Amino acid sequence: MDEIQQPTKPVRKSRRVTSDSAAPAADSATSTTSATETPAAKKTTRARAKTAEGSTAAQASSTETNSTGSKSNEPKAAESAGQGSERNFEGEERSERNRNGEGEERQERSDRNRNRNRNRNRNQNNSSDNNSNDSGDSESADSARDTQTRDNDRGNERGERDFNDERGNRNRNRNRNRDRYGRNRDRRANDRDEVEPEISPDDVLVPVAGILDVLDNYAFVRTSGYLPGPNDVYVSLGQVKKYNLRKGDAVVGAIRQPREGEGAGRQKFNAIVRIDSINGLTVEQAGARVEFGKLTPLYPQSRLRLETEPNKLSTRIIDLVSPIGKGQRGLIVSPPKAGKTLVLQAIANSITTNNPEVHLMVVLVDERPEEVTDMQRTVKGEVIASTFDRPAEDHTTVAELAIERAKRLVELGHDVVVLLDSITRLGRAYNLSAPASGRILSGGVDSSALYPPKRFFGAARNIEDGGSLTILATALVETGSKMDEVIFEEFKGTGNMELRLSRALADKRIFPAVDVNASGTRREEMLMSPDETKIVWKLRRALAGLEQQQALELVLSRLKETSSNVEFLMQVQKSMPVPSGNDAE
């Protein structure tokens, strides 16, 4: 019989749930949960998984036994049983996971969300930058970058400013501590200087004498001359203030001989423990001295006669054309090899011969050693020298100490004559040793280097109440050095007497090579008698019309014929009568 077979729906092949297929599911579930669960949760999960495996195996066996009875319901029963067991297992696993790992998953989820949002924002910024670049809107991006760069620069500047402020505070604190320490150290040093050295009855005193040189923080008695030496004696500032000591004082005192056991640890210089006399005066008398700067200067009034012998023509012609008085400030302007050294020696010997009461000091700065020896053997006076092989500081030290010594003698009412050779070399020494001021004159001369030589040269003066300081300094010209010309121009108008020597006359071997018409003295009538002044002025009028060589030869020939200047002037008066109306008033 033919039956119409109706189409049947395709039956989906059901997955048979056995112990073998359930084990991987349990293992996979266990592995997935073990990664996120705590150890206690893992133990409970494994126990429940084993229980699920047992139930699954029982259900599978019952399904196999019942399959023969109901073949038509076998796929549906198997599928429903498998789905039910899986659903139960997944539900239990999800609930356990929710209970045990809910906090950790929430924390990880929030972290992932933040990272995802951050990456999304970064990607959006990059995409916006790309879109802006693609669209051509580069100005906004540049402005954004400039703003960011500016912010970074401001932050860096702010950080540097904070760092500099902190470092400045540290430096200020350090400097404040140093200043405080320096003040304390100076105070301790002053206290130490104020303490008078103690002398015990057992001490052995050794007498010392020398010239006092006062420096910034201490003083020394120069026992071996005017330059520092190994045997100098230390003088504290407290003693300088107590005894009213000044630079250039001749101090006589005593030092304490080192005791036994003090030789290794004693100071380099012995300290003076007793002062007996200052410039030949007692300590009380020296304290009442007048300062040199408060003395009243006047024009020279008392003459220093240089004429000694008839054959000494140098001094005789100087007496005629440029007389010298006590307190004169004179320049001997000389080119090289014109005989200035011989002129200085002649002046020095004439002063010591005619004026023995005058204290003569010859200061040689930057000079040749053989000339120093020759001057020491020729001149009967105090020769203070610093040869050219010594540093410039020694030249300035010698000159300053020598002029201070002369001032101390003038304060006591003495007449002092200082012969300086040369003021040009002294200016060079100050130009080398003095600190630079930043203002350079022509020739490479520092403006501050000319003040100390001017102070030296300007110390010459005639004192109203007695005493005088006469300075005759040589100035070099025609040396080819611009510096020498600048130095000479600075001193050209400061002197009140000038004696010029001529190189042309010296080359012709006419000595003394004196330029008669160019030499002269200011206010010379104060040094001569009225009759002598008339005759000298008449002689000058006669020589003014002659050349340099003719004038000198005429004067020298007349001087050789006479034995003295008085005789020479009488012959001039007889040979050249003074016209009426031209008498000197």
Residue numbers belonging to the annotated binding site for ATP: 325-330, 337-342, 368
Give the pair of three-digit tokens for residue 339.
């005989």
Q: Residue positions in the annotated binding site?
A: 325-330, 337-342, 368
CB 456 within 8 A of CB 403: yes
Give the pair of three-digit tokens for residue 396.
């300035």
Tell me the CA end-to-end span of the chain in Å, nearest whole number: 189
For the chain, give the longest Cα–Cα distance: 200
Give CA torsion, residues 67, 69, 72, 78, to 10 deg: -30
Residues facing residue 250 across a β-bridge: 211
CB 213 within 8 A of CB 247: yes
Helix (H) or strand (E) holding 359: strand 359-367
Helix (H) or strand (E) holding 317: helix 313-321
Amino acid at 282: T
| Cα 316 from Cα 297, distance rounded (Å) | 28
Q: What are the C-alpha distances in Å from 279 to residues 14, 15, 218, 239?
A: 139, 137, 20, 16
What DSSP string describes 141-160? HHHHHHHHHHHHHHHHHHHH
Amino acid at 303: R
Pairing state of beta strands 497-500 and 468-476?
unpaired
Residues facing residue 386 across a β-bridge: 365
Amino acid at 494: T
Q: Which of 362, 392, 366, 391 has the alpha carbon at shortest distance from 379?
A: 362
